[in-house]
Chains A and B, each alone.
Chain A
Amino acid sequence: MKLPILSLVTFLPLLGGVVIALFPRGREALVRWLAFLVSTAAFALSLLLYFGFDAGSPDYQFVEQVRWMPSFGISYHLGVDGISLLLVLLTTFLSPLALLSSWRAVEVRVKEFAASMLLLETGMLGVFVSLDLFLFYIFWEAMLIPMYLIIGVWGGPARIYAAIKFILYTLAGSVLMLVAILALYFHHGGVTGIYTFDLPLLTRYVVPGGIQLWLFLAFAVAFAIKVPMFPFHTWLPDAHVEAPTAGSVILAGVLLKMGTYGFLRFCLPLFPQASLAATPWIFLLALIGIIYGAWVSMVQPDLKKLVAYSSVSHLGFVVLGLFTLTPQGIVGGLIQMVNHGLSTGALFLLVGILYERRHTRLIAEFGGLWQVVPAFSALLMIVALSSLGLPGLNGFVGEFLILVGAFAWAANLSAAGPPAYLVPVLATSGIIFAAVYLLWMYQRVCFGEITAEANRGLTDLTRREWAVLLPVLLFIVWIGVYPRPFTGKTEASVQALIAQVQSKAAAAAPAQPDLQRIHASGAPTPSAWGAGLGGR
């Protein structure tokens, strides 16, 4: 029998978490090291996935399928393809770094913290590798609990409010998704006679138009909250500000990607026509997110809030890319998910380093840091530049591909004429605002004279902090200079996904009279939408 790598990667952290939970109190150093080593081992294992992955095949690989509750059509079905591979790696890569970053930041209930982080890792990995909707939903919900605890127990002063807001927001979406999953299950069973939660099986089926739209909406709201897309984003700044650094890193780095991943893995292939019909609306929200997020970032007095709102802007780009349904847009979106995880993760790490030293995150408290902590400042500059999409660093590769995809999308809508081009044009304007808020922040933190006396005694990066940041930096440069090892793994799956969505949409279109209704009511014609935008 082949080694079940996916199961091992997914459940190794859980195992580690359980072992740590059984530890006696007071062995903090040991607990820290053990948790770090376990998650590092998971990363090492996940590298086998990368090197064993056949980039030429669009199919699920490393598949494991075991009958679980056959009477309900539930199986333990795991697999990765080009869409999830990079996200799995991102998760296993960031988790040990997040643990390492909390070495000094978390002093109380270390054991519980480490266990929660490991449990969280298993939950996140499970979401990315599940190919069974039931299993997926279990992981999706399981992940919430440790994150809730991490914010609520180890967070800042308003942690309870933030944690409850986080969990209620997300649960509201999850419940809708659960209803939709069940509806899909019963509908599929009713029509075909096969009651199953198996994603590949369900994907083959074309859901009739009317139902499809509702199911799409239920899934879409759940994912939109998770991303978060405007206007469902207000849980994010609170959660980030209150969460401990490690929590913020994982939250921004991985958790938000579940939303975008969900769109790609579920919404597009399961509900292609509804997705296409909803595209203009999704684009509208994505564009608002890009620009609005950047604007709001600009005036935040708190570093963490600034980074949190910038995520709204960045993920607007990702969603935009995914829904262009072009290879450039989707590959760009996938790479941008990774990039955002790295860049924003690194930003949170750096902010955390400042916070550990000064116990404040207010921009006004800093200034002139370059004179005191040059290494820190240099890294912050590189990460800020990566986040604002400077060519040569990772952010550019994703953003550029997404914008090219948006352009190609607009060009394909030749009927719509020039208004469709507003989408790429407005999205591109986001890169100007990104430069504004990041460079302004940078200037106020690192340039100028030292204004606060407390900053004079700051110590520069410690060896442990270098160890946390250097790997992230390595990938920031690597993806920027030579993205092929990353984009190359995704392409076959992305192409297959596009072909599948298009053929399903085309096959369904004439046979489903309901579709007409979707087009008539759900989506305005492209030109109407463009005109609406222009008139705003």
Chain B
Amino acid sequence: MSNTVWLIPLFPLLGTLLNALFGRWIGRHAHWIAVPALACSFLLSGAVFLRVWNGETFRGDLFPWIEAGTFRTAVTAQVDPLAAVMLLVVTGVGFLIHLYSAGYMHGDPGYARYFTYLNLFVFSMVMLVLAGNFLVLYVFWEAVGLCSYLLIGFWYTRKSAADAGKKAFIVNRVGDFGFGLGVMALWVALGTLDYGTVFDEVETLSPETATVIALLLFMGACGKSAQLPLHTWLPDAMEGPTPVSALIHAATMVTAGVYMVARTHALFERSGVALDVVAWVGGLTALFAATIGLAQTDIKRVLAYSTISQLGYMFAGVGVGAYAAGIFHLVTHAFFKALLFLGAGSVIHAQGGEQDLRKMGGLAPRMVLTTITFLVGAAGLAGLPPFAGFFSKDEILASTYHRGRLWLWALLLLGAFLTAVYIFRVVLLAFFGGPRMSKEVAHHLHESPPVMTLPLGALALLTAVAGVAVGMPSTQGTAFARFLSPVFPLSEEVGHGGLSAYALLVLSVIVAVVGLLFAWLLYGSRPIKVEAIGRPRNRLHALLLNKYYVDELYGFLFVRPLLRVAGFCARVFDLGFIDGIVNGLGQLVVGWARSMRRLQTGYVMNYALMTLLGAVVIVGFLLSR
């Protein structure tokens, strides 16, 4: 298996290098390198998956890496059921997004550069998933941050895009500051960073130490997966090309945090407290972001807050110990969120770059394929049966309920209602009702080319069948959970059998349907007054429109004070004080010398007088002893 495993990241890496070095000559043919590279990775991931299905696992070192004294690490990869699933999702969804990009980015002057970054992104994510120790994880953890920086700021001439890229990197760095400390603390505590050894010896850690380390690692997860309070970069990340948003939100990057917590769950369980923190941060973020999603007018921003919210669900799931449920939601979310973003991209593409929901409407008859697939995605997100999101979200809700976390459960249920409201609001505003775009835009409306609709179809199919195929609840857990059971042992209450389980299922459906109806009541049942959308109606609405003023708060608390302190240090302290002392010393010496110079009058008489005086003083001194 060793060769196959190492080939999976190798292909996108080669694609990156080829397009980076020869992109100038490859130009508009860049996709002929990037897309097949991903296809190869995907096929190899499939092969690896089948081997894992048959019970094989893999673990191997490529070469020894950073070493000093007792600190020994290697570039290690490992494949177990969890990694195998992630590989399939990353390379599979990644491949579809690559394919779609070939259409979406057609004619962009930075075409080769785009595919360079895209391949690099998938390479980094594949390595992050394959990592067999914390250091490799950390490296590619930062590497995906870099890729997001490059891709969000892809259209770098726009200041907003460059700003957004920088913000993504820096906010992620704040998280990685914690993550890095966590990794170091782990090494100091256990003397190793290898997954296997760490998880075996985790019992030797005191719960307090485990809590500190786990929370530090989770800080990184908050940054990467855009959870409170480090969520601010993700909505701005919409500045990147839309397929990039799909890649970031679905297949790569943001899922890394959930994956990491699931992967290192032994550590979080040893702490206990840390797991609760994960659950609550997840639950609160889920609700928090969903409320913001209700009010946004930019189609991609709604989806961005939706991602934050859905990641909150995943964290809530892993936080209550339902790791398989959390990862299952990660997978289904990858399908339907990629679908929604690519669908939104198709809409934006058709409208010549317009992202404002207020200027859409009535697209359904003109873009049938996009509309149908978007609807499937929306149903998946809202949790309508039989689409995938229904099964995965219900698993999380049921797990919180069965484990007695009723408050958390209530929070998530409320979130589920809001989710249905905001996503069907988007559907109704974009695809139904009367068209609100300008005549010229309306004239040019067209369905996207097959290279773009094909991925939409594939993702819609996955969203439709994934839940039924592997997510059916049973007394032995879902098929998905059983596959992951070597990593996450099935827990006792896993069956979720009995009346309460069915009652919960029905409740989920009711909540989603009520949300749908509510959205219809507001946006579908009567003609839309476009002036009323996006204008603050009351205090609460203003709060939501302004995203709870978190960006403003951070600006006030961190950004501006930092700049002010830096300015003070540079201009006042460094130049004024320190250099003032230095230059002052210099002037002192020069001044002293200048005053001494006056003694050198050049008159022999003066010197003779001084000599005489000196002699008198010395003789006087000697006599007086």
Residues on A lying within 8 angstroms of B by beta carbon are 165, 168-169, 231, 233-235, 292, 295-296, 298-300, 309, 326-328, 330-332, 368, 370-371, 385, 390-392, 396-397, 400-401, 403-405, 407-408, 410-411, 424-425, 428-429, 431-432, 435-436, 439-440, 443, 446-449, 482-484, 487-488, 491, 494-495
Chain A residues lying within 8 Å of B149, measured Cβ to Cβ, are 439
B67 within 8 Å of A (CB atoms)? yes
Chain A residues lying within 8 Å of B578, measured Cβ to Cβ, are 231, 233-234
25 contacts across the A-B interface (CB closer than 8 A):
A165-B582, A233-B578, A295-B569, A296-B569, A296-B570, A299-B567, A327-B68, A328-B68, A385-B146, A390-B146, A391-B139, A391-B140, A391-B142, A391-B143, A392-B143, A401-B68, A410-B188, A428-B180, A431-B177, A435-B173, A439-B149, A448-B156, A482-B63, A488-B67, A491-B67
B282 within 8 Å of A (CB atoms)? no
A165 to B584, CA, bound (A): 12
A446 contacts B156, CB within 8 Å? yes
B187 within 8 Å of A (CB atoms)? yes
Which A residue sits closest to B580, measured CB to CB? A234
Chain B residues lying within 8 Å of A332, measured Cβ to Cβ, are 68
Interface residue ranges of B58-75 to A (CB < 8 Å): 63-71
Task: Give 1 or 0 for each of B558-582: 1 = CB within 8 Å of chain A CB.
Answer: 0000110111011100100011001
A443 to B165, CA, bound (A): 10
A296 contacts B65, CB within 8 Å? no
B535 within 8 Å of A (CB atoms)? no
B153 within 8 Å of A (CB atoms)? yes
B405 within 8 Å of A (CB atoms)? no
A328-B71, A390-B146, A432-B174 known; A425-B567 Cβ under 8 A: no
A15 to B188, CA, bound (A): 50
Kindly name the residue among B140, B169, B174 whose own CB sees the greatest number of chain A CB atoms within 10 A: B169
A448 contacts B159, CB within 8 Å? yes
B67 contacts A487, CB within 8 Å? yes
Q: A299-B571, A482-B63 are in contact. List 12 more A-B contacts (CB 8 A).
A: A295-B569, A296-B570, A330-B68, A403-B184, A404-B187, A432-B173, A435-B170, A443-B153, A443-B162, A447-B156, A448-B159, A448-B162
B68 contacts A408, CB within 8 Å? no
Cβ of A78 to closest chain B Cβ, rounded Å: 27
A300 to B570, CA, bound (A): 8
Tell which of B71, B143, B157, B173 touches A401, judged by Cβ atoms closer than 8 Å.
Answer: B71
A407 contacts B579, CB within 8 Å? no
B185 within 8 Å of A (CB atoms)? yes
Cβ of A416 to closest chain B Cβ, rounded Å: 14
Chain A residues lying within 8 Å of B139, measured Cβ to Cβ, are 391-392, 396
Which B residue sits closest to A385, measured CB to CB? B146
Chain B residues lying within 8 Å of A309, measured Cβ to Cβ, are 570
B166 within 8 Å of A (CB atoms)? yes
Chain A residues lying within 8 Å of B159, measured Cβ to Cβ, are 447-448
Chain A residues lying within 8 Å of B434, measured Cβ to Cβ, are none
Residues on B lying within 8 angstroms of A by beta carbon are 63-71, 135, 138-140, 142-143, 146, 149, 153, 156-157, 159, 162-163, 166, 169-170, 173-174, 176-177, 180-181, 184-185, 187-188, 562-563, 565-567, 569-571, 574, 578-579, 582, 586
A298 to B570, CA, bound (A): 9
Cβ of A317 to closest chain B Cβ, rounded Å: 13
Chain B residues lying within 8 Å of A401, measured Cβ to Cβ, are 66, 68, 71
Which B residue sits closest to A484, measured CB to CB? B64
Chain A residues lying within 8 Å of B142, measured Cβ to Cβ, are 390-391, 396
Chain A residues lying within 8 Å of B140, measured Cβ to Cβ, are 391
A313 to B565, CA, bound (A): 16
Tell which of B68, B162, B563 touches A299, judged by Cβ atoms closer than 8 Å.
Answer: B563
B188 contacts A408, CB within 8 Å? yes
B569 contacts A292, CB within 8 Å? yes
Cβ of A170 to closest chain B Cβ, rounded Å: 13
Which A residue sits closest to B20, measured CB to CB? A378
Cβ of A489 to closest chain B Cβ, rounded Å: 12
Chain B residues lying within 8 Å of A439, measured Cβ to Cβ, are 149, 166, 169-170
A3 to B68, CA, bound (A): 32
Cβ of A312 to closest chain B Cβ, rounded Å: 10
Chain A residues lying within 8 Å of B163, measured Cβ to Cβ, are 443
B586 contacts A391, CB within 8 Å? no
A425 to B184, CA, bound (A): 10
Chain B residues lying within 8 Å of A404, measured Cβ to Cβ, are 71, 184, 187-188
Tell which of A234, A432, A491 touches B579, judged by Cβ atoms closer than 8 Å.
Answer: A234
Which B residue sits closest to A296, measured CB to CB? B570
Which B residue sits closest to A237, measured CB to CB? B574
A449 contacts B170, CB within 8 Å? no
Which B residue sits closest to A305, measured CB to CB? B570
Which A residue sits closest to B161, measured CB to CB? A447
Which A residue sits closest to B23, measured CB to CB? A374
Cβ of B405 to closest chain A Cβ, rounded Å: 31
Cβ of A496 to closest chain B Cβ, rounded Å: 12
Chain B residues lying within 8 Å of A295, measured Cβ to Cβ, are 562, 565-566, 569-570
Tell which of B143, B156, B181, B582 touches A425, judged by Cβ atoms closer than 8 Å.
Answer: B181
Cβ of A302 to closest chain B Cβ, rounded Å: 11
Chain B residues lying within 8 Å of A432, measured Cβ to Cβ, are 170, 173-174, 177
Cβ of B186 to closest chain A Cβ, rounded Å: 10
B69 contacts A331, CB within 8 Å? yes
Chain B residues lying within 8 Å of A405, measured Cβ to Cβ, are 68
Kindly name the residue among A391, A448, A483 whose own CB sees the greatest number of chain B CB atoms within 10 A: A391
Cβ of B130 to closest chain A Cβ, rounded Å: 15
Which B residue sits closest to A409, measured CB to CB? B188
A448-B157, A448-B159 known; A298-B566 Cβ under 8 A: yes
Chain A residues lying within 8 Å of B156, measured Cβ to Cβ, are 370, 446-448
A295-B570, A403-B180 known; A484-B565 Cβ under 8 A: no
Chain A residues lying within 8 Å of B184, measured Cβ to Cβ, are 403-404, 407, 424
A407 contacts B177, CB within 8 Å? no
A231 to B187, CA, bound (A): 33
Cβ of B591 to closest chain A Cβ, rounded Å: 16
A299-B563, A440-B166 known; A168-B68 Cβ under 8 A: no
Tell which of A428, A483, A488 touches B177, judged by Cβ atoms closer than 8 Å.
Answer: A428
Chain B residues lying within 8 Å of A235, measured Cβ to Cβ, are 582
Which B residue sits closest to A327, measured CB to CB? B69
A331 contacts B68, CB within 8 Å? yes
A407 to B582, CA, bound (A): 35
A342 to B568, CA, bound (A): 30
A401-B68, A447-B162 known; A424-B181 Cβ under 8 A: yes
B569 contacts A407, CB within 8 Å? no
A391-B143, A432-B177 known; A234-B574 Cβ under 8 A: yes
Chain A residues lying within 8 Å of B180, measured Cβ to Cβ, are 400, 403, 428, 431
Which 8 pairs, one residue from A and one from B, show the smallest C-beta to C-beta distance?
A327-B69, A391-B139, A331-B68, A447-B162, A447-B156, A295-B566, A296-B570, A407-B184
B138 contacts A391, CB within 8 Å? yes
Tell which of B157, B173, B181, B582 touches A234, judged by Cβ atoms closer than 8 Å.
Answer: B582
Chain B residues lying within 8 Å of A491, measured Cβ to Cβ, are 67-69
Chain B residues lying within 8 Å of A392, measured Cβ to Cβ, are 139, 143
Chain A residues lying within 8 Å of B574, measured Cβ to Cβ, are 234, 296
A488 to B67, CA, bound (A): 8
Cβ of B14 to closest chain A Cβ, rounded Å: 15
Kindly name the residue among A295, A405, A425 whose own CB sees the greatest number of chain B CB atoms within 10 A: A295
Cβ of B572 to closest chain A Cβ, rounded Å: 11
A309 to B574, CA, bound (A): 11
A403-B180, A428-B180 known; A483-B566 Cβ under 8 A: no
A22 to B566, CA, bound (A): 50
Chain A residues lying within 8 Å of B146, measured Cβ to Cβ, are 385, 390
A391 to B147, CA, bound (A): 12
Which B residue sits closest to A405, measured CB to CB? B68
A22 to B569, CA, bound (A): 48
A447 to B569, CA, bound (A): 27
A165 to B578, CA, bound (A): 13
Kindly name the residue among B71, B135, B159, B187 whose own CB sees the greatest number of chain A CB atoms within 10 A: B71
A226 to B188, CA, bound (A): 33
